[in-house]
A and B are shown apart, each in its own frame.
Chain A
Amino acid sequence: MGLSPRVETQMKKRISSSIPYLFIAPSFILLLLFFVLPVLAAFLMSFTDFDIYALGSIGNARFVGIMNYTQLVSDSLFWKSMANTLYFLVVGGPVTIFVALLAAVLLNSKVVRLKALFRLGFFAPVVATVVAVAVVWRYVYHPRFGLFNFVIGFLGISSRDWLSDPIWAMPAIILFAVWKNFGYTMMIFLAGLQAIPETLYEAAKIDGANHWQQFWKITVPMLAPTTLFVTVITLIGYFQVFAEPYIMTGGGPLNRTLSVVLLMYREGFRYWKMGYAASIAFILFAVIFVLTMIQLRLQKERL
């Protein structure tokens, strides 16, 4: 007595429809174990005052509700770090994208020679370890022996102690970050530029468009999706700025270069105030999420 054919096909269907899940199961389980669960744990932790005492005995942790968040809102250091991060983002982001676009267009033009060499030169800082180059740049900015003061001396600008000056420390770090990061953005732009069909430019030329018009009417609109991608990536990356101030200034002078992630690191891994640090992490997550959504919405409207 076998199964009726109807039941058999049904079973087969069920098995075959569950096979895809089987295939994604390993990565799904890994994601669950090493991403979703820790994130949930951190979220719960942000409602406790988990700290060094709690590490000794879990009974010393208290459930504090949203106290971490309210304390954070009243913490002048948090707002300062937020302002610093926004400063870094609002100035550094556009500059990076602009420099990258400029370099990409130049590298893509037919008049430039030794393209491979320039491409390598612009991209090399991206590959270099941020910590190592940050240490080198600390010497570049040295008040008395630094290369930077030496170079701008020719322009008639008086030398100063860039990284110790409350006003100039952040611009100095932004300059470093732009130099370090624009190569990556440039590569993406370059790929985008190469995807623009040559025929468009040829048609424009026949219609009598000059280079400037070609750039604004063809290159820029055709690069819009690439620009969107680059902007989102830069936004997310720059919001999490950490290594540059950590190595070059330690957050000083006067906490003028203290970024949100650096503050989180300090609270979490130096003072082991895990609950408080977790709440910073979630606020950071929320801010990045919202900003990215706004950006995507804006771009969608424009396209």
Chain B
Amino acid sequence: MQWRQEKGVRLDVNVERSTVVLSKMVSISIAFVAVFLFGCGSAKQNGTTITFWAIGAEGERVAPFVREFESLHPDIHVNLETIPWGSAHDKLLTAYAGNATPDLCQLGNTWIAELQAMNAIIALDSFISKSCVVRREDYFDGIWETNVVAGKVYGIPWYVDTRALFYRKDLLAQAGMTRPPEDWDELLEAASLLTVKHEKENKTVSYGLYLPVNPGLEWVEVFFAWQNGGEILKDNDCYANVESPEVREGFAYYLKFFEKGYSPKESNMTTNLYEAFASGYIGMFISGPWNVYEIKQRFPSLSNRWAVALLPANKNRASNAGGSSLVIFRSSKDKEAAWKLIEFLSTTEIQRDFYKASFDLPAVKEAWADSSLLGDPNMRAFYKQLESAKPFPRIPEWEQIADKMGQWIEAAVWGRYTLDEALAEMTRDINRVLEKRRWMLKNQKTLQ
């Protein structure tokens, strides 16, 4: 009896709750309809609207420039959206699959080949030939090349980056080296000088050079292979070339730092590079220009005790040609307006001002003339490094290949595989990844 009553009460509560839910749903749907009606009304002014996706911090920093562009072109309304770096790649692919791509987008320049293979972005050659703002000769060679797939230009460099050597001047001087290492032998020597072992406990107090255990998408092992004159892929980027003597030697040089104990076997995800560098736990590391700003911000007291140098040379000083480009999507309804925004962002003045707002290095060489750039020795090092920057193979599979290489390098770092075993596995994996590309080329499928 009691139980029945209880059940009755419960039912009432449920009824009451469901009516509340219902009324809520009704009011929410009314709100939706209202937003839909009025929202559309305000967005559609006379003129055209283009959507611009920017990634990460650039999204916020470009906002004032976009507003400036709008005031110069009252007929163009720019809908600026920011997407985080971490999910940018996934979001772009899903947007393409779901037919929801923007008009123009900032793109990490290693992704261009991928979006080009999906037929998502258009070649910009016809725009460039008519333009008096965007000129090939104003850009770094390696950087421009990253945007070229099968002879056509798909992106305009927006800002650039590359990797150079960060080192502790004071520690190196204490150890007896008054200038940064110039070549491979000197880099090893500097690393050995900066590595300090605790005498009793067999523990390392400080390491000479930080290298990622799994270089994956930091590509440092690729730089070493390039510097030794090697190429990762061969035969029109259809087969692995990692077992060639040049690449092998480059990778062996990478592993040497771990074998000798000059580099810590620490996960990339736990090491706080800044803190480690500031405390002297690591004496050198290889990274990009954003860290010049970061270290200055975090450790102002460290100034003059560290500097940036070119990567030590072997046969050359190759580093990656990184950065972001601006691309126009095939689905864009107003490609002319999108191109106008690209041109605006590529003018020397805007490039220079954007550097001041974001500390992203300008893609247009002329914009470097500013004293805050070439007047700063650290930035000058990056400028010189950019002149020997080299593009990665422009194929959609590149990140996957870099990931596989990173995994096998890691196995070799931990001594689970010898270098030759790891290289054999690497070759097998890379060739498997490239199977589709070979099939596409053989069947003359459009790679454009």
- Interface of A toward B, CB cutoff 8 Å: 49, 51-53, 55-57, 59-60, 62, 138, 141-143, 161, 163-164, 166, 248-250, 252-255, 269-272
Asked if A270 contacts B120 (CB within 8 A), the reply is no
**Closest chain B residue, CB of each to CB of A71:** B432
**Closest chain B residue, CB of each to CB of A169:** B267
Asked if B117 contacts A52 (CB within 8 A), the reply is yes
| Alpha-carbon distance between A252 and B214 when the two chains are bound, in angstroms | 9
**Closest chain B residue, CB of each to CB of A271:** B400
Contacts of B120 in A (CB 8 A): 56
**B399 contact from A56, A57, A60, A271, Cβ within 8 A:** A271
**Closest chain A residue, CB of each to CB of B435:** A49
Asked if A161 contacts B436 (CB within 8 A), the reply is no
List the one stretch of B164-172, B344-352, B407-415 in contact with chain A: B407-415
A-B contact pairs, 13 of them (CB 8 A): A52-B93, A53-B117, A53-B440, A55-B96, A60-B440, A143-B266, A163-B267, A164-B266, A164-B269, A249-B269, A250-B269, A252-B214, A271-B399
Asked if A55 contacts B267 (CB within 8 A), the reply is no
| Alpha-carbon distance between A166 and B413 when the two chains are bound, in angstroms | 12
Contacts of A53 in B (CB 8 A): 117-118, 396, 436, 440, 445
Indicate if B446 sits at the interface (CB-CB under 8 A): yes
Which one of A49, A248, A253 has the highest number of Cβ atoms from chain B below 10 Å of its Cβ? A253
Q: How many residues of B contact A (CB 8 A)?
A: 31
Task: Give chain A's interface secondary structure class.
Answer: loop
**Closest chain A residue, CB of each to CB of B279:** A144
Asked if A269 contacts B97 (CB within 8 A), the reply is no
Indicate if B119 sits at the interface (CB-CB under 8 A): yes
State how many angstroms separate the Cβ of B422 from the closest Cβ of chain A.
Answer: 12
Q: Which 9 A-B pairs have the closest CB atoms?
A: A164-B267, A56-B119, A56-B118, A271-B400, A55-B118, A52-B396, A164-B266, A269-B90, A163-B270
Asked if B90 contacts A161 (CB within 8 A), the reply is no
State how many angstroms separate the Cβ of B9 from the closest Cβ of chain A.
Answer: 20
The verdict on A161 contacting B266 (CB below 8 Å), with A52-B114, A254-B410 known, is yes
Asked if B90 contacts A253 (CB within 8 A), the reply is no
**A248 contact from B93, B266, B269, Cβ within 8 A:** B269
Contacts of A60 in B (CB 8 A): 440, 445
Contacts of A270 in B (CB 8 A): 89-90, 399-400
| Alpha-carbon distance between A249 and B213 when the two chains are bound, in angstroms | 13
Contacts of B315 in A (CB 8 A): none
Contacts of B214 in A (CB 8 A): 252-253
Task: Give 1 or 0 for each of B382-414: 1 = CB within 8 Å of chain A CB.
Answer: 000000000000001101100000010011001
| Alpha-carbon distance between A141 and B266 when the two chains are bound, in angstroms | 13
Asked if A56 contacts B267 (CB within 8 A), the reply is no
State how many angstroms separate the Cβ of A152 from the closest Cβ of chain B.
Answer: 17
Contacts of A252 in B (CB 8 A): 213-214, 267, 269, 410
State how many angstroms separate the Cβ of A119 from the closest Cβ of chain B.
Answer: 23
The verdict on A55 contacting B269 (CB below 8 Å), with A60-B440, A252-B214, A270-B399 known, is no
State how many angstroms separate the Cβ of A264 from the closest Cβ of chain B.
Answer: 14
| Alpha-carbon distance between A60 and B446 when the two chains are bound, in angstroms | 9
Contacts of A164 in B (CB 8 A): 213, 265-267, 269-270
